[in-house]
Amino acid sequence: MHEKKRIAVFGAGGIGGVVGGMLSKAGHDLTLIDTWHEHVTEIQNNGLEVTNQDEVHLSKPNAIHLNKLQEIKEKFDIGIIAVKSYDTEWVTHALKNYVKDDGYFVDFQNGINDLKVAEIVGKEKTLGCVILISAMATEPGKAWRTDSRPDVAYKIGELTGGITDRLKEFVNIMQSVGVSEYTEELISERWSKLMINCMVNPLAGLTGWGTAEVRSKPLTQDIAIQVAAEVVKVSKSEGYSMGKIVGLDPDDFIDAADGKKNVEEIKSQMLEQARQAGSASRPSFGQDVLKKRRTEIDYLTGFVSQVGKKNNISTPFCDKVTEVVNSLGVGFEPSDENLAEIEKLLD
C-alpha cells in the first residue's frame, strides 16, 4: 500500500473535481483550490459528490478559494495543475511556494503546457498526465466523469523521459481514480491527445453539439479528418511520432484527408468513439462556450497553426477553425451556421 500523500489540486472543474474527489476518498490529504465561490462553499459544507462512470461517491476534501491560499501552513507533496491552458503560468507560480522542495507537480491539462510548467518549477519536478476521459462540473459540489470507455483513463510520464520511482508512485496513486499507466513518450502522447481535442472540441463549441454528435455527423467528421491530418503533419515536423489513435495509424488520417483511402474506416471508428462518449458528454471547450467563457482555441488548433507556420507546414483547416472561433469572441451563440466558412474549405 502506497503512503498517503498531501496533495493540492488547483482547479476543481470536471477533471480536477473527479481526480480530487477520488483521491480524497482514497485517503489522501487532499486540498482543492478554485475561484468558483459557490463550488468551494458547497464542498466545504456538504462534501464533493463524484459520479465516476456508474458509481457515485461522496468525499470530503479540503476546499479553499484562491484568496485563502496564503493561509496554507503545511506544504504539499504533490501539486496538480488542472486549470485552463491560459492560466498555466500564474497558477504554477502561485502553487510553487506551497509544494515541498522534494515534491513535484503534475500537469493535468489539455494542450501541451508541460514545458511552461517546467520553466517555472524545473523539468526535474514536472510530470504530465494525458487525460483520456471526459468530465464536467456544472453544479456546485458535483463532478461527473461522462465517458464510458473501459480501458486506460490516464497516461502519466516524466517530462525528461524514463521510468522513475516517483512516476511509478504517482501512477499507483492514480489507480484509485481510474485505470492509469506510465509512458516514456509523454510529449508524443500529448500530440496524440491534442489531435483528438482539435478534432472535436472547437467543433463542439462552435455548434453547441455534444461529443457524440460531433463524431457522428458527416460534416463534422469530414472537417475533423482534415484537422487531424494537419496535426499529424505538424507533430512529425517537431520530431514526434504518435502511436495508434482510436486503433488507427496517424498516417491513415493523412491518406483520408487526401481522399486516398481509410475514410470509411476512420468514420466507423469515430462512430464507435461517439458511442463510448455517451450522450451526456460535452468537451470542456463546449462547456466554456455555453458558460460564455474564454475558450482554449489558441492552445488547440491555434497552437498547431503556430507550430506549423514555424516549420513551414500548411494548416488551412486549423487556421480557419482558430480564425472563426476568435472572430466570434467571448460569449458567442453556438450554431451549426458557425461552420459555414470552414465547410467552404472542403470544396
Instruction: State the chain's mean pLDDT as an integer.
Output: 93
Q: Are residues 178 and 193 in the same domain?
A: no
Please say if the pLDDT value at position 278 is more than 70: no
> Do 163 and 310 sit in the same domain of this protein?
no
pLDDT of 122 higher than 70: yes
Domain count, the chain: 2
Same structural domain, 151 and 194 = no
Asked if residue 36 has pLDDT above 80, the reply is: yes
Same domain, 307 and 167: no
Residue 131 lies in a domain: yes
Residue 52 in domain = yes
Q: What's the rounded Cα separation, in Å, for the pair 321 and 305?
A: 10
Which of 151, 184, 217 is the last residue in one of the domains? Answer: 184
Q: Domain range holding 146?
A: 6-184
Are 178 and 204 part of one and the same domain? no
pLDDT > 90 in the chain, percent: 78
Q: Are 110 and 197 in contact (CB under 8 A)?
A: yes
- 155, 183 contact by CB (below 8 A): yes
Supply 221's cell numbers.
467528421
pTM of the model: 0.92
The burial class, CB within 10 Å (0-12 / 13-18 / 19+), for 4 is middle
173 and 263 assigned to the same domain: no
Q: What is the pLDDT of residues 83-109, one digit of tens each?
A: 999 999 999 999 999 999 999 999 999
Task: Write down which residue in 184, 203, 223 finishes a domain.
Answer: 184
Where a domain ends, among 184, 204, 230? 184
Cell numbers given for 170: 504517482
**176 and 286 belong to one structural domain:** no
196 torsion bin: left (phi>0), alpha (psi -120 to 50), beta (else): alpha
How large is the average pLDDT for residues 311-316? 98
Q: Identify the CATH number of the domain in which residue 49 sits.
A: 3.40.50.720
**Residue 298 pLDDT greater than 60, yes or no:** yes
